[in-house]
Amino acid sequence: MVEKILIDNGIVVTMNPRREVLRNASVLVEGDRIADIGDAAEIRRKHKPDTVIDAREKVVMPGLVNLHLHPGTIIRGVGEHMGLEEWAEQILYPYLAAMRPEDAYFSACLAYAEALLTGTTTINLMYAYIFEMAKAADDLGIRAVLSSEAADLVEGQPTLEENERAFRELHSPSGKIKVWFGVEWLPICSDEFLLKARELADKYNTGIHIHLNESKGEVEACVKKFGKRPTERAHDLGVMGPDVVAAHCVWLSDREMKLYAETGTHISHNPVSNAKLGNGLAKVPELVELGVNVGLGTDDAPCNNTVNMFETMKFASLAQKSRFTDASKMPAMQVLEMATLNGARALGMEKEIGSIEVGKKADIILIDLNVPNMRPVHFGEYSNICQNLVYSSLGNSVDTVMVDGQVVVEGRKLKTMDLGEIIRKHGELATDLLERRKKYIKPLPF
């Protein structure tokens, strides 16, 4: 028998085409799908659920989609106040080279736990040890699109061959784990490597997750080494299109911006990481005006330093308001769309996730309104529900999280794994890994 779960009598932020916010509404989940939505009394009259989740004084909304994540929690707080190139040389690449499978697994477990506890139900991840990434996702219960952080011009990076093996063994078109092909930033990827990534994505009818134009230094290195800016080079080698999510896209020329619109390439905007590394701010309003689909991501835990999408939503909006000295830029509903529907669209999953609609996957989160920072609550002319979700929620009021119809967070506690044990083991491994990484420090090849 398929279990029926009733999420009863909440404020439902549907993100449906009419962007309805339903008061005193309920959502019925049957198995892994949303089966009914409507007035709470009417839903109770129509259905006999096996389980009831009390949603009074709670917002019921779609789970958030983190469109660009590296789960490097194991080096959080290390290498602070460094720019991207110095951080990559001194911390990131030596650490990836020194990493062991157990390190990768527990680093991912902590990142996924943090993501779930702050309302993220889907991640688009690029990292080393892709099989450990998949095991952690399965153990925690998060929906994941996985790719290797692959490159061929730096020692110790994952390979496309490993990524291909992961696709064959892990990819599940109808399940929670999907596999794309990952491309690190372009200064450390040869033309042959990029052509191979496109060949593999086409062969398996899957996507590409790539870094483009993150920093001024990256653009300069790419021009010096290959004679082209990163996005221009990616375009000329066929590594753009509607099956591609490009992370960052901060230092874009006018021509490069148009290439995203012309090719249908999606962008993950990662404003907290970009600001923290001193890389500037992407021209999101201009890209959206061109018709580019832009979602939101957190990037790596050590250069953010969280994987909290509520923080990212707020920062994304405030940064553009500040940039334009215009408080109307990036309003709350637009940012909510970026963190839900736009992320789903970028991953080719817009028919499955991103909104609360009948027939879609039951990826749902409940936000407790009985906390100081989420009060007062208004409806009608002064409705402030969506505004408070973006500007007031800290992610710490996420009460319940459901992924694929499975409750993975309940009463703000992780249900799928022992969080205390994850933290203990993670801490043991972190110090040893930092020491091991020292022998792998080498100058970047550009």
Predicted confidence at residue 155, as pLDDT, reads 80
Give, for all 446 residues of the chain, the pLDDT tens digit.
Answer: 899 999 999 999 999 999 999 999 999 999 999 999 999 999 999 999 999 999 999 999 999 999 999 999 999 988 788 888 888 888 888 888 889 999 999 999 999 999 999 999 999 999 999 999 999 999 999 999 999 999 999 887 899 999 999 999 999 988 999 999 999 999 999 999 999 999 999 999 999 999 999 999 999 999 999 999 999 999 999 999 999 999 999 999 999 999 999 999 999 999 999 999 999 999 999 999 999 999 999 999 889 999 999 999 999 999 999 999 999 999 999 999 999 999 999 999 999 999 999 999 999 999 999 999 999 999 999 999 999 999 999 999 999 999 999 999 999 999 999 999 999 999 999 989 988 888 888 888 77
Domain boundary among the residues 289, 319, 346 is at 346
199 and 104 inside one domain: yes
CATH code where residue 182 lies: 3.20.20.140
Query: What is the rounded distance in angstroms from the CA atom of residue 273 to the CA atom of residue 305?
Result: 8
21 and 109 inside one domain: no
CATH code where residue 404 lies: 2.30.40.10
Total structural domains within the chain: 2
On whether residue 370 sits in a domain, the answer given is yes
On whether residue 356 sits in a domain, the answer given is no
Predicted confidence at residue 93, as pLDDT, reads 83
227 and 133 inside one domain: yes
On whether residue 168 sits in a domain, the answer given is yes
234 and 253 inside one domain: yes
Domain boundary among the residues 298, 318, 346 is at 346
On whether residue 215 sits in a domain, the answer given is yes
230 and 307 inside one domain: yes
264 and 410 inside one domain: no
Domain boundary among the residues 346, 374, 406 is at 346
Judge whether 144 and 130 are in contact, CB under 8 Å. Answer: no
Identify the three-state secondary structure at position 21.
strand
41 and 143 inside one domain: no
Query: What is the rounded distance in angstroms from the CA atom of residue 385 to the CA atom of residue 20?
Result: 11
Query: What is the rounded distance in angstroms from the CA atom of residue 378 to the CA atom of residue 109?
Result: 37
54 and 70 inside one domain: no
Quote the strand ranges of 213-311, DSSP E: 244-248, 266-269, 294-296, 299-300
Strand partners, 407: 402
For residue 405, what are the domain limits? 4-62+361-414
Query: What is the rounded distance in angstroms from the CA atom of residue 26 to the CA atom of residue 53?
Result: 10
Q: Which long-range contacts (CB under 8 A, 24 or more apart) does 384-389 make?
A: 385/11, 385/13, 385/21, 385/59, 386/13, 386/21, 386/332, 386/333, 386/336, 387/332, 389/13, 389/59, 389/61, 389/310, 389/313, 389/332, 389/336
Predicted confidence at residue 437, as pLDDT, reads 84
Record the pTM: 0.97
On whether residue 431 sits in a domain, the answer given is no
Helix then strand then coil, % of the chain, to nearest 5: 45, 25, 35
Quote the strand ranges of 63-161, DSSP E: 64-70, 120-127, 143-148
On whether residue 436 sits in a domain, the answer given is no
Judge whether 2 and 34 are in contact, CB under 8 Å. Answer: no
Predicted confidence at residue 284, as pLDDT, reads 99
On whether residue 189 sits in a domain, the answer given is yes
Query: What is the rounded distance in angstroms from the CA atom of residue 83 to the CA atom of residue 85?
Result: 6
129 and 14 inside one domain: no
283 and 181 inside one domain: yes
On whether residue 365 sits in a domain, the answer given is yes
294 and 401 inside one domain: no
Predicted confidence at residue 148, as pLDDT, reads 98
Query: What is the rounded distance in angstroms from the CA atom of residue 240 to the CA atom of residue 207?
Result: 10
Predicted confidence at residue 110, as pLDDT, reads 98
HSE at residue 354, side-chain half, CA atoms within 13 A, is 22
130 and 40 inside one domain: no
